[in-house]
A and B are shown apart, each in its own frame.
Chain A
Amino acid sequence: MTNAILALEDGRIFRGVSFGASGERLGEVVFNTAMAGYQEIITDPSYKGQIVTMTYPLIGNYGVNDEDAESYKPFVEGFVVKEYSKIASNWRSKKTLGDYLKEHNIVAVEGIDTRALTLHIRQAGELKAVLSTTETDEKKLVEKAKASLGLIGRDLVKEVIHPKKFEWNPKGKYRVVAIDCGIKYNQLKELAKNNCRITVVPPSTTSKEILQMNPDGLFLSNGPGDPSALQHIVKTAQELIGKLPIFGICLGHQMLGQAFGGKTFKLKFGHHGGNHPVMDLKTRKVAITVQNHGFCVDIDTLNKKEIEITHINLNDQTLEGMRHKKLPIFSVQYHPEAAPGPRDAEYLFGKFVDLMK
């Protein structure tokens, strides 16, 4: 039994027991309220730079399987739970969560009062933290957390992307170029389901190179960190406005917001979970959506003559979706590809294909 300590930059300490790799990791600590789907969460590239705590206390119950990863490896900096299940019980399970985390060198801790931690984040905001199985000096750990980089202004995208461009579903009819900022596999699967052939390109790809591929549409993926640190991608998107149908999700939506001249800001504590109600302002219907973002496009900074607000979050009235009034461009802050979470918004991939017809 190895002890582990989670130390926050404001001096708060949580002690538990390690169930992953040994070592020390820095990151901003965030909570996720999804009750299932830890495998997808751990492997979501958007969590680069973040230590994730699950509010649901019993984690690991169904193990880890070969199908549910959202990228080629886990990206969370650290993983914090109340009780880790040493048994994995599910017909698809291939290994326990603990073994999987050790294999991928992810530091994880159980035995933490995750509700107390969540309350602390809700009140103090998302904090820089360190999770360590090696250092026992609390003061040193707090100093390390304080001195860490945090998320603001950092380009984390370059740390999660696929190094080379690749094709997905080569038999698809509609040719989509997806700028990989940390793309989740289920976005690709959903596009493929809608008869798209996707060329996934690194974010350094220029607008000219993209146009040379002669695509029917451009897709801007999710990804980690601060959109303000990604001006080169914003510029690429800006140059393609008016030239291609564009669909953006999460970070892709934030970058589009900036490309439209809007501003983004950091939420006190982000939306991470699978139960956020989002209203479609046209139909007035509500979708239960999956969310994973710490930054947000400021509604007030968008030029309403060009941009229509299409969706809002009913919990806090923040922007959830927008579209260009004249051009075939739209984006959402939430995750229609779900994984993990409700699939109410899957139809948006079909809407994107409609724009390419």
Chain B
Amino acid sequence: MPKRTDIKKILIIGSGPIVIGQGCEFDYSGSQACKVLRQEGYHVILVNSNPATIMTDPDMADKTYIEPITVEAVEKIIAKERPDALLPTLGGQTALNTTVGLAEKGVLKKYKVETIGADIRSIKKAEDRSLFKEAMLKIGLDLPRSDKAYKLEDACKVAERIGFPIIIRPSFTLGGTGGAVAYNIQEFRELAKIGLESSMISEILVEESVIGWKEFELEVMRDLKDNVVIICSIENFDPMGVHTGDSITVAPAQTLTDKEYQIMRNAAIAVIREIGVATGGSNIQFAVNPDTGRMVVIEMNPRVSRSSALASKATGFPIAKIAAKLSVGYTLDEIPNDITRSTPACFEPAIDYCVVKIPRFTFEKFPAADPTLTIAMKSVGEAMSIGRTFKEALQKGLRSLEIKKSGLETILFKDCLKEIKADGETLEKIFQKLRTPNAERVFYVGDALRAGVTMDKIFELTKIDRWFLYNMKEIVELEREIAELGGSLPTKLLLKAKQYGFSDRQLGMLVNKTSDDITALRKTHKIEPVFKLVDTCAAEFEAKTPYYYSTYDQ
């Protein structure tokens, strides 16, 4: 279908201030939307309270309002500008909530503003927990057992019925604010009260805990012809219980067979159709019981999200840009693939590398904050890395965090890597750090492996999938092999270490040499990085505008 000509002026709501739980990813998606819609000849009106964004640069929109993103302020802008349409799905949760507010106040109806992308009914169906539950049951999908409550006493009754641990999820909030886990009734009373207060409509969902289950996300796109494609699958290293924004995540999914993945894919397609997001991207989260494979739907974001920014960069498929085009009537088969140019955007990217996203925390700047990771997001940023293996990507990502780590370094065994002896006290500290999710847990997993703790024990404490643990074990074993050599570094081992993502600095520390020594050694052995492409198609087609990542391969 060609683009719509019945709308001319489009209002885009930005995401406002950058806060914990909502970073600059919505500046990225909103800027893409502004650019695309202007290129298509639409008159773009933008509202965003945050002037420190790209989208508020003078040439991004036809008119930019730097005003608070509230129903009242946006209403005034609508009254003045009289846009034909409002695109609410590219400015994060703030834009979505404001749009719902505008609809409920009758503003959209009064000024005849059409929402494009997702309509109010779909937004509510996805965001309101009980409507969502009803919709999922209708299409035959399994969910964690749950019930909603508006008063503390009712909430306690539900909790007793379902059994602990229990998750408390307030409806209509930002970045999971107020969501929490309770292990007993005392904790529950306290946390449910906070939850009820933080919900815009004083509503919480009391839910069966799926803590420790494997967590997956699918990035889905749909067009007006009802073509649906999955852009990317993501598997969380940190299992359920840690907010996705605080989890190390990996693309594509690593530990699902195709059968299981296709069941999830079909479920995701059924979800976007049932919720009714007409065009654009959505993010759908699933949990899978690691022992039985039982799969439940966790939630759906009827908009581009933090994960879509990751999925875009991970695959080369520009979700926000395509979502903007779909919102004005184009269909996926009419839009060319940005990177190959010769094939259509109606396809599912095939990637031939591994992508790891690692959250960045700054608990040192918030001394009063509890550094335990829960289902409310606490990270302030993230690093994304690409490698040919998980090991390589993980180590690259860890050193990109700017936390003075050059890879999966040890915390506890700095001076004794050759011969690690962990006493009872050290082991207890490790177990404690594994048991409770925290910013440094990945490093403590490394140290647990160094100390000879079995993968089964680590799994029992963390529920991190054994596939991830095994890969980390391979890193740690190679580290020990190199440390034990005590200085010399044979070519073959050096190459293997580079392919495992070790940095020159990290290797230098293991063999008492400087980073420059290792670099020089590498060069004499002609071990140098090559640059491989992110091309959406695993080299099947020629790439016209790819981007690159470094790796140690041919």
Contact = CB atoms under 8 A, between A and B. Distances in A.
Given A119-B539, A277-B343, 10 more contacts: A55-B350, A55-B538, A55-B540, A65-B257, A87-B467, A89-B255, A115-B538, A288-B346, A340-B259, A342-B348
Given A314-B344, A342-B262, A35 B351 contact: yes
Contacts of B290: 91
B257 A37 contact: yes
A14 to B, nearest CB: 8
A23 B390 CA distance: 30
Contacts of A113: 553-554
Contacts of A315: 343-344, 347, 541
Contact of B255 (A40, A61, A82): A61
A92 B293 CA distance: 8
Contacts of B257: 36-37, 39, 62, 65, 68, 90, 92
Interface residues of B, number: 52
Interface in A98-126: 113-116, 118-119, 122
B465 interface: yes
A34 interface: yes
Given A83-B389, A119-B539, A315-B541, A338 B255 contact: no
Contacts, number: 154
Contacts of A276: 347
A273 B540 contact: yes
A86 interface: yes
Interface stretch (A133-141, A176-184, A258-266, A279-287): A279-287
A209 interface: no
B227 interface: yes
B225 A284 contact: yes
A273 B226 CA distance: 23
A89 B465 contact: yes
A142 to B, nearest CB: 18
A91 B538 contact: no
Contacts of B333: 277, 279, 284, 286, 314
Contacts of A275: 347-350
Interface string A11-45: 00000000000000000000101111101100000
A279 B227 CA distance: 10
B326 to A, nearest CB: 13
B258 interface: yes
A328 interface: no
Contacts of A40: 258
Contacts of B375: none
B342 to A, nearest CB: 8
Nearest to A65: B257
Nearest to B466: A89
Contact of A57 (B343, B354, B554): B354
A138 to B, nearest CB: 16
Contacts of B259: 67-68, 339-340
Nearest to B1: A284
B357 interface: no
Interface of A: 31, 33-37, 39-40, 55-58, 61-62, 65, 67-68, 82-83, 85-87, 89-92, 113-116, 118-119, 122, 273-277, 279, 284-286, 288, 314-315, 338-343
Nearest to B348: A275
A33 B537 contact: yes
A167 B296 CA distance: 36
B390 A288 contact: no
Contact of A58 (B226, B332, B350, B354): B354
Contact of B470 (A55, A65, A89, A116): A89
The 7 closest A-B pairs by CB, nearest first: A37-B258, A340-B258, A55-B538, A113-B554, A89-B467, A87-B470, A33-B350
B399 interface: no
B353 interface: yes
Contact of A62 (B225, B256, B353, B390): B256
A35 B532 contact: no
A65 B293 CA distance: 14
Contacts of A118: 352, 538-540
Nearest to A33: B350
Given A90-B257, A92-B257, A113-B553, A56 B343 contact: no
Contacts of B289: 91
11 contacts: A35-B350, A36-B252, A56-B350, A57-B388, A58-B390, A87-B470, A115-B388, A284-B333, A286-B225, A286-B332, A342-B262
Nearest to A120: B539
B229 A288 contact: yes
A119 B333 CA distance: 26
B541 A61 contact: no
Contacts of B390: 58
A33 B540 contact: yes
Nearest to A89: B467
Nearest to B535: A115
Interface in B455-489: 465-467, 470
B392 to A, nearest CB: 10
A122 B539 contact: yes
A285 B226 contact: yes
Contact of B346 (A37, A57, A277, A343): A277
A330 to B, nearest CB: 22
Nearest to A284: B225
B364 interface: no
B253 interface: yes
A91 B388 contact: no
Contacts of A65: 257
B292 interface: yes
A338 B350 CA distance: 16
B291 interface: yes
B253 A55 contact: no
B39 interface: no
B515 interface: no
Interface string B215-247: 000000000011101000100000000000000
A148 to B, nearest CB: 24
B266 A343 contact: yes
A269 B227 CA distance: 27
Contact of B553 (A56, A115, A338, A341): A115
B467 A85 contact: yes
A33 B466 contact: no
B254 interface: yes
B169 interface: no
A56 B351 CA distance: 7
A319 to B, nearest CB: 17
Contacts of B346: 277, 286, 288, 314
Most buried by A among B252, B256, B265, B539: B539
A58 to B, nearest CB: 6
A293 B542 CA distance: 20
B53 to A, nearest CB: 34
Interface string B292-333: 110000000000000000000000000000000000000011
A32 B532 CA distance: 18
A339 B254 CA distance: 17
A62 B255 contact: yes
Contacts of B467: 61-62, 85, 87, 89
B390 to A, nearest CB: 6
B343 A288 contact: no
Nearest to B554: A113
B346 to A, nearest CB: 5
Interface string B383-412: 000001110000000000000000000000
Contacts of A273: 350, 538, 540
Contacts of A67: 259
A86 B470 CA distance: 9
